[in-house]
Amino acid sequence: MQHLGRTVVHRDRLARSWKLGDRTRPLSTTPGIVLLEGDVELDIKLAPFSCKMERTLPSKMYFSSRANLDPFSEEPGPNYESSVGFVLPPVLEEANAGEMPTGNDVLVMSWQRLRHDETILEADLRPSIIVLVDAPQLTAHQGRLIDSIIAIKKQFPGALLWTPGISGPDNIALLSWFGVDLHDMARSRLAKANGLILTQDGPRNPLEGESLDYVAHFEHAINSTRAALAEGWLRNLAEKQSLNSPKMVEHLRHFSRASDSVSGLLKSVVGRDYLFECLSTSALNDPVVKRWHRFMENEYTCPPSIEKILILLPCSATKPYSSSPTHRKFIREIGHSGVHELMITSPLAIVPRDLESVWPAAHYDLPVTGDWSVEEISIIHEVLIGYLKRHSYNIIINHTNIPMPDLGMAVISTTNGESPTSPPALERLRQVVREQENLKKRKGEKINLDTFKSISRFMFNNDAWLSDCRIRGKFPDWKVEKDGQQIAVWSTKRGAFSISKVGLSVMHEHKTLPEVIVKEDRKLVGDLHLGLLESWPEDLKVGEEVLLIQKGVLVGSARVLAPSWEWNGTPGRLAKLRHKLSSDSSK
């Protein structure tokens, strides 16, 4: 039996970079090229596969590895053969051609097959490669290309996806962002045949004496996409490429809407240096931003001890805000810990001071111009009004120059059109706060505990595990103790809690962390992979902590490496084992 060796090394939402071949000595990576008949020979590192079509009825596809990518064999391979079947145009979606493609290792897919072939839902169907053969036709139908890709990725997370005939240097990053792993140079060859060069900016006429050779442009695009995925800025590159044509913008907008409903797609925690760059208005509709809006509008609750005075403040370029010179001024002039501070910003709309250290609030970046679009102000108003409906502040102090609608309570403006950092505006802010009565200051430990409870409600959906806890230590790493034992550490740099072995039972008791069920007959050794697992929640996010349960007993914890949509088929590690309890029943 042939086996395509593949391991995910980088991932971002639906985009992934796979190492191909033996995982310790991979011969190639994705995104990669599938060479077609007539293509020039390329290095295996760039083009790991080739494909030939036999023009019969129905036609046959011969999909070959260009080197030994099977870690269990010494011969070149794997090599696959599939029947393409009869593929009807997407406009005939209700018709059934009667003969579907054959072949399970390379699965030939189409819009028609996604709608009519129930055999693709069989649990034991584990293809290595999926070929969306009608991709060129699907690009002409609004939303269908994206809907097909998302459906395929969710059903077959362990397969590499190829969309023949639509890739080029001008959209490789965009298609990779959507989840396409393999590309071909058919469009580049067609452009050359018509006397054009297909570049990263789209097709153009060559300059006088300029070569029509398209390989260099394709290779540069592949390498740029690989680098962007490895370094965490593929989304930015995809956004830039989408501007190459109106159709690409349409696809990206539909992808943002459609992927917003994919469970577990987003990250729970990101690296310290990760930046969520918001360089255009498209960021307002990104799933990361929409999730934040929904939470702030419908779920977030202010710490009860400070639900009296709400102060609206502008954001800052430095994150977290409180580390910026501007916000140090605000905090100094406010001079009281018994008020609630809420930053007004874009694209997140509002950010409470108690959540300024979490993702995405601590990691977004945008051009600061002082100008606000109508759409930005509308979103801020909508989220803020929804937020206020669930709170009972006595008064709002608005220390921004953002125009506010009727908020249903008294609002005092302290800027009067001046810069919020100007001495007169700061003096008015200080004076208004001093005039408020019955404000109770919070001690440092109480501030930290309120903050951690807010963070816990955001990350874990409850804060019950923090009942009767004490906060010890000092910035930036705070210790959470219960009954004299350390149960967790909050790392400001990482923006997350690390749960100790002792703390696992507390989290389990309060149902704070998601639970993953380990198969009863498997020994818990090393990191988690599919063969160990019985079941798991559908919304696991990268960076999230999970509890491991075996035979109904808590046996350890792990940190999620792959989002839950991948767990039903992606080979390799899905979560990293963090703690293994001595009561492990698998021994």
Name the residue ranges covered by the structural domains of the chain: 6-86+101-259, 276-435, 513-587
Rounded to 5 degrees, φ, ψ at 321 are -55, -40
Burial class (CB in 10 A: 0-12, 13-18, 19+), 358: buried
What pLDDT score does 546 carry?
A: 97
Q: How many beta carbons lie within 10 A of that of residue 246, not counting itself? A: 9
* Pick from 502, 479, 481, 483: nearest CA to 491: 479
Q: Are 282 and 29 in contact (CB under 8 A)?
A: no
| Contact (Cβ atoms closer than 8 angstroms) between residue 15 and residue 4 | no
Amino acid (1-letter code) at residue 226? R
Q: How many CB atoms lie within 10 A of CB 72?
A: 11
Alpha-helical regions (H) of 312-391: 325-334, 374-389
pLDDT in tens, the chain (587 residues): 789 999 999 999 999 999 999 999 999 999 999 999 999 999 999 999 999 998 887 889 999 999 999 999 888 899 999 988 877 777 777 766 656 677 789 999 999 899 888 889 888 899 999 999 999 999 998 899 999 999 999 999 999 999 999 999 999 999 999 999 999 999 999 999 999 999 999 999 999 999 999 999 999 999 999 999 999 999 999 999 999 999 999 999 999 999 998 988 989 999 888 889 998 888 999 999 999 999 999 999 999 999 999 999 999 999 999 999 999 999 999 999 999 999 999 999 999 999 999 999 999 998 877 788 999 999 999 999 999 999 999 999 999 999 899 998 899 999 999 999 999 999 999 999 999 988 899 999 999 999 999 999 999 989 999 999 999 998 888 999 999 999 999 988 888 999 999 999 999 999 999 999 999 999 998 899 999 999 999 999 999 999 999 999 999 999 999 999 999 999 999 999 999 997 543 33
Vertex 105: Cα angle to 521 and 43 (nearest 5):
115
Strand, helix or coil for residue 143: coil
Enumerate residues 6+ apart whose C-beta is below 8 A from 574: 527, 528, 529, 530, 533, 560, 561, 562, 566, 567
Q: Which residues of 370-396 are buried (b: 16+ CB within 10 A; e: fewer)?
A: eeeeeebbebbbebbebbbeeeebebb
Query: Helices (H) and strands (E) in the chain — how many of each?
Result: 14, 29
**Using CA atoms, how far apart are residues 266 and 284, in angstroms rounded to an integer?**
16
In DSSP notation, 176-197 reads: HHHT--EE--HHHHHHHHTT-E
Residue 512: both structure tokens together: 């704070």
Distance in angstroms (rounded) separating the CA atoms of residues 562 and 12? 9
3-state secondary structure of 240: helix
The class level of CATH for 513-587 reads mainly beta
Name the token pair of 399. Answer: 């220390």
Among residues 130, 132, 96, which one has the least CA distance to residue 115?
Answer: 96
Locate 118 and state its tokens: 């129930």
What does the DSSP 8-state code read for residue 582? T
Please compute, for residue 487, the number of CA atoms within 13 A of its CA located in the half-sphere on the CB side.
18
- What is the length of the chain? 587
pLDDT on residue 587 = 38
Q: Taking the domain 276-435, which CATH number applies?
A: 3.40.50.10630
Q: For residue 525, how far is the Cα from the chain centroid?
A: 29
Q: Give the per-residue pLDDT at 95.
A: 67
- The pLDDT score that the predictor gives to residue 584 is 45
Q: For position 585, what pLDDT does the model report? A: 39
- Closest by CA to 32, choosing from 44, 40, 14, is 44
pLDDT at 586: 39
User: Which residue type sits at 583?
Assistant: S
Which three-class secondary structure string do you get for 70-87? Answer: CCCCCCCECEEEEECCCC
